[in-house]
Amino acid sequence: MSSRRPFIDVESGTLDRSQILVEAVPLARLVLYVGLIALVPFALAFFFGGSIVGTLLAAVGQFVLAVGAGIVLIYVVVRGIDIAGVSRLDGDSSVPRRSSGEREHPDEPRSDGHHFDRDEQETERAERERRDPDGDSDGSER
């Protein structure tokens, strides 16, 4: 793990205001965009008043705010992990965990429902052998 402390100026030991600003501006933009998107159904709900359409638009606005809050929280967590420089490791601390985009063997196809990765191939082979232990697919002995 990195020994550098985020948002702290190493020389003076005070807050690094430039780094705080660099991180705060994109977050503020994201919150602003979510608020502006949610403002549209709320404004329409205001014009429709207490009717059913106004109530539905208010519910849509609440939904947009809820989803937007989730997106903002995910952004904050991911940025916090990136800034802290935390390495994500499996049980063995000497072997870093591969990200979802990395594969052990890059030339092998990614398992996406149409292709099999190595574990799925082994499972398929074991199931075939269990069904047909002699390996003869048509079942005839010649």
DSSP secondary structure, 84-123, as one string: HTPPPB-SSTTSBPPPTT--SSTTSPP-SSSS--HHHHHH
pLDDT per position in the chain (142 positions), as tens?
445 778 888 888 898 899 899 999 999 999 999 999 999 999 999 999 889 999 999 999 999 999 999 999 999 999 989 888 877 555 555 545 545 445 555 555 454 444 555 556 566 666 666 776 665 655 555 4
| pLDDT at residue number 11 | 86
| pLDDT at residue number 29 | 97
| pLDDT at residue number 6 | 83
| pLDDT at residue number 69 | 97
DSSP string across 61-89: HHHHHHHHHHHHHHHHHHHHHHHHTPPPB
Whether the CB-CB separation of 16 and 7 falls below 8 Å is answered with: yes
| pLDDT at residue number 125 | 66
Tell me the CA distances in angstroms from 26 to 19, 20, 76, one per residue in order.
12, 11, 10
Q: What is the C-alpha separation between 88 and 97, in angstroms, rounded?
A: 6
Q: Where are the chain's structural domains?
A: 17-84
